[in-house]
Structure 1
Amino acid sequence: MVRRHEITDTAWEQIAPLLPANRGRGGRWADHRTMLNGMLYKLATGCPWRDLPQRYGPWQSVYGRYRRWAADGTFDAIWSHVQTRQDAVGRIHWQVSIDSTAVRAHAHAAGARKKGSAQTKAAQALGRSRGGLTTKIHLAADGRGLPLALLLSPGNVNDCTMAPLLLAAIRVPRSGRGRPRTRPDGLIADKAYSLRALRRLLRRRRIRCTIPQRADQKANRAARGGRGGRPPAFDRGLYRQRNVVERCIGRLKHYRAIATRFDKLAAHYRAGIVLVSVMLWLNHDPQNTP
């Protein structure tokens, strides 16, 4: 019987071949599915690793597997595979929306070891903002509200500065021959992304954007009169679809270890978001419903 927060049989069949095989050292590995279910339980409940139920095996094994898969790119490979499979059957809607959300960092998230200048708070995506010590998740979602790409930054980083990097992170490999798809049909974002440099980038990449202007930009254009030029095109009806990325963020934050950051290392926190993103894709597939 599949318990709450655990992966279904059909979803497991999709990702099981992508997990590393037994290395042959120190005896056989514990069952991958049991370990994965333990990770999902931890992310859903936000409990410490030491408090995992005994049915998932020793917590050290679950945590060690999580760290290993975060470091070797296993979670990212699964996410990429699921996106490729969905794109092959035309289920990715390429009208992409982007947004960000600030996540409060728990006291346990502070205190990462400082081994040189790279191990600063900024390197671990921690920064001071109005909410205290926070991390910001920058997310790109497709037209169905499923995560395509994500980035982490300190909580005091401006959204628009991360937009070009977030667009560059969109990369869905083809199921056959051909380059990965990296260009959306269109981009929807709120006025925090209304930056002239970003609009130029989108025009250069031939991506239609739907971004409202800020009040100060409208005032500056009006003050310049005829020299201000025409305002950028804006489709108010299309802009209503931006809520899909907000709903996606809401679904991610249903997992308590995502809604509050407990991980000291940004790589471990990001791995949890990637794993939850994989689950959102799998659970949205009609073939994987229990």
Structure 2
Amino acid sequence: MSADLVPDGLWERVAPLLPARPPRRRRYPGRLPADDRAALRGIVYVLCKSVSWRDVPAEQIGCSGVTAWRRLRDWTEAGVWPRLHAALLIELRRAGLLDMDDAAVDASHFRALKRGAHTGPSPVDRARPGSKHHLATDRHGTPLAITLTSGNRHDITQLIPLLDAIPAVRGLVGRPRNRPRRVFADRGYDFDKYRRILRTRGITPKIARRGAPHGSGLGKTRWVVERTFAWLHQFKRLRIRYEIRADLHLGLLQLACSIICLRRLRTSF
């Protein structure tokens, strides 16, 4: 089981991005630090199983859950996860598997049990503390960018920050791509002000109108973002927010997006 959590393809891409460890003192060597791959295995185990960090089986994983949490903290602060996601997007574009002409955006509410930053009264959960995932995908459902806000933030307020969060994706001859040509969204994004903002950026808005009858045909393109949310919710840790620190939850989100990108590259994972 532990070998399947961090396959060689994932580890080969993560290892070069990890920060260097501080040098050890020869006089007081102390206990040897846990292996980085075992720590990553513990992080992915919690991401998939949503167990408490203290309940990580150290015998199977190779390190304790507390050690895995500390590595998650250190690697998140070092910016490992967004760089991993960007590197995988480059590989996808180089392989011809990334279509950035069309982007679909949407948001999803979830409960935040321990409050913390980026939490607020959720309008769809009786004002209980909650957060919201904002996701942008390409035409095939590959996650391009994901952000985290409080549960009471309107979807439209995060449209521009979400598009700005798309990294510059190289991989082909020419300038890097970080801007889609068309954006597909549901009625929650129906504001003419933001249509004008998108057009000034050279992006054509494809947003459903409120009050209009169903059958606009936009669902044929934007359904992929709903499927990607379903993929993300297969990582049980993302269904409910347990982390008080927003950056750690966002780091787990970005790691899950990277795993989805890697699955697209190598369907056996």
TM-score by length of 2: 0.88
1:119 corresponds in structure 2 to none
1:166 corresponds in structure 2 to 162
Paired residues for 1:1-290 under 5 Å: 3-4=3-4, 6-25=5-24, 29-54=33-58, 55-56=60-61, 57-94=63-100, 95-106=102-113, 109-110=114-115, 112=116, 124-129=117-122, 130-131=124-125, 132-175=128-171, 180-215=176-211, 236-286=216-266, 289=268
Letter of the aligned partner of 1:148 in structure 2?
A: L
Contact 1:2 1:8 survives alignment (8 Å): no
Contact 2:90 2:170 survives alignment (8 Å): yes
Aligned mates of 1:72, 1:12 — CA distance in 2: 17
Moved more, 272-281 or 83-92: 83-92
Q: Identity of paired residues, percent?
A: 31
Letter of the aligned partner of 1:89 in structure 2?
A: A
How many residues of Structure 1 are paired with residues of Structure 2 in the alignment?
258
Letter of the aligned partner of 2:19 in structure 1?
A: P
Are the structure 2 counterparts of residues 176 and 188 from structure 1 closer, same or farther at C-alpha, using a change threshold of 3 Å?
closer
Structure 2: where are the runs of 5+ without partners? none
Q: Tell me by how many angstroms 1:265 deviates.
A: 1.1
Letter of the aligned partner of 2:91 in structure 1?
A: R
Q: Tell me by how many angstroms 1:128 deviates.
A: 0.4
Q: Tell me by how many angstroms 1:205 deviates.
A: 1.5
Are the structure 2 counterparts of residues 58 and 153 from structure 1 closer, same or farther at C-alpha, using a change threshold of 3 Å?
same
Aligned mates of 1:67, 1:40 — CA distance in 2: 14
Letter of the aligned partner of 1:213 in structure 2?
A: R
Are the structure 2 counterparts of residues 71 and 179 from structure 1 closer, same or farther at C-alpha, using a change threshold of 3 Å?
farther
Contact 1:22 1:29 survives alignment (8 Å): no
* 3-state secondary structure, aligned to 1:20: coil
Are the structure 2 counterparts of residues 159 and 175 from structure 1 closer, same or farther at C-alpha, using a change threshold of 3 Å?
same
Aligned mates of 1:164, 1:135 — CA distance in 2: 18
Q: Tell me by how many angstroms 1:207 deviates.
A: 1.3
Letter of the aligned partner of 2:78 in structure 1?
A: D
Aligned mates of 2:33, 2:138 — CA distance in 1: 36
Aligned mates of 1:88, 1:183 — CA distance in 2: 17
Structure 1: where are the runs of 5+ without partners? 113-123, 219-234
Computed over aligned residues only, the root mean square deviation of the Cα atoms, in angstroms, reads 2.3
Q: Tell me by how many angstroms 1:178 deviates.
A: 6.2
Aligned mates of 2:18, 2:229 — CA distance in 1: 27
Q: Tell me by how many angstroms 1:2 deviates.
A: 5.5
TM-score by length of 1: 0.82
Contact 1:96 1:186 survives alignment (8 Å): yes
* 3-state secondary structure, aligned to 1:198: helix
Aligned mates of 1:282, 1:239 — CA distance in 2: 26
Contact 1:127 1:155 survives alignment (8 Å): yes
1:225 corresponds in structure 2 to none
Aligned mates of 2:22, 2:97 — CA distance in 1: 36
Q: Tell me by how many angstroms 1:69 deviates.
A: 0.7
* 3-state secondary structure, aligned to 2:247: helix
Aligned mates of 2:7, 2:167 — CA distance in 1: 27
Contact 2:143 2:228 survives alignment (8 Å): yes
Q: Tell me by how many angstroms 1:29 deviates.
A: 3.7
Q: Tell me by how many angstroms 1:264 deviates.
A: 0.5
Contact 2:19 2:78 survives alignment (8 Å): no
Structure with larger Rg: 1
Q: Tell me by how many angstroms 1:77 deviates.
A: 1.1
Aligned mates of 1:75, 1:205 — CA distance in 2: 28
